[in-house]
Copies of this chain bind each other. A is one copy, B any other.
Amino acid sequence: MARKNTDIRQEEIKQAVLDIIFTDGLKKLSTSNLAKRIGMSEGSIFRHFPTKQDIIISIIEDVQNDFIGQLRIIANSSLPPIERLQKFLCATVNYLTDNKGITMLLFSEASHNNDAALKSSLQQIFNNQKQLVSKIILDGIALGEWDESIPVENVAMLYMGIPVSLNIDLILRGGEFHADNFCSKMLQLILKILKK
């Protein structure tokens, strides 16, 4: 087969991982199937990643950089808190619906594996989102826009339920979804909680 650089091959492999998970389920994610999907030999995969686990870890790092990075920019922007919250929520919903393979991977890996490093990465992804939401809410309270007596930690937890249960829904129903309405409807509910 044609030769390509490791970085290109790594991307191909990671894409194939997500592809298989979404179309066939995590059970079918073997190095053998992975090689078939890309059209290369099984041995070649181990030229570009030392172990199968390292492929998963690399994907989770991508999520940290791309997804959480994007959310961090939104949360720290100078927009009014209400607009930040709206952008934040919609960005999350869009990411989840656009990357179904990734979300299934995160879910399953969390309960499937007992690897400490992996679990800690997943915990970070979850907690980072919670902290960024808390920041937006606290900013809104500081500006006098929202009720200062609300328990911010609990609202953030309730907020996190939105993407997480959306996730479950996506996994169970297999994909079809109408993001626009969902995003703004959920925002309105959260805003009612935040209202003075």
Contacts and interface: CB of A to CB of B under 8 A. Distances in A.
Copy total for this chain = 2
Interface string A140-172: 000000000011001101101110111011011
A172 B122 contact: yes
Contact of A112 (B27, B119, B157, B192): B27
A185 B186 CA distance: 19
B172 A161 contact: no
A113 B168 contact: no
Contact of A110 (B119, B122, B161, B171): B171
Interface residues of A, number: 42
A158 B27 contact: no
Interface of A: 21, 24-28, 104-105, 107-108, 110-114, 119, 122-123, 126, 150-151, 154-155, 157-158, 160-162, 164-166, 168-169, 171-173, 182, 185-186, 189, 192-193
A82 B169 CA distance: 27
19 contacts: A21-B111, A25-B112, A26-B112, A27-B112, A27-B113, A28-B114, A105-B111, A107-B110, A110-B172, A111-B171, A112-B112, A123-B173, A151-B185, A154-B189, A160-B165, A160-B168, A161-B164, A164-B165, A192-B192
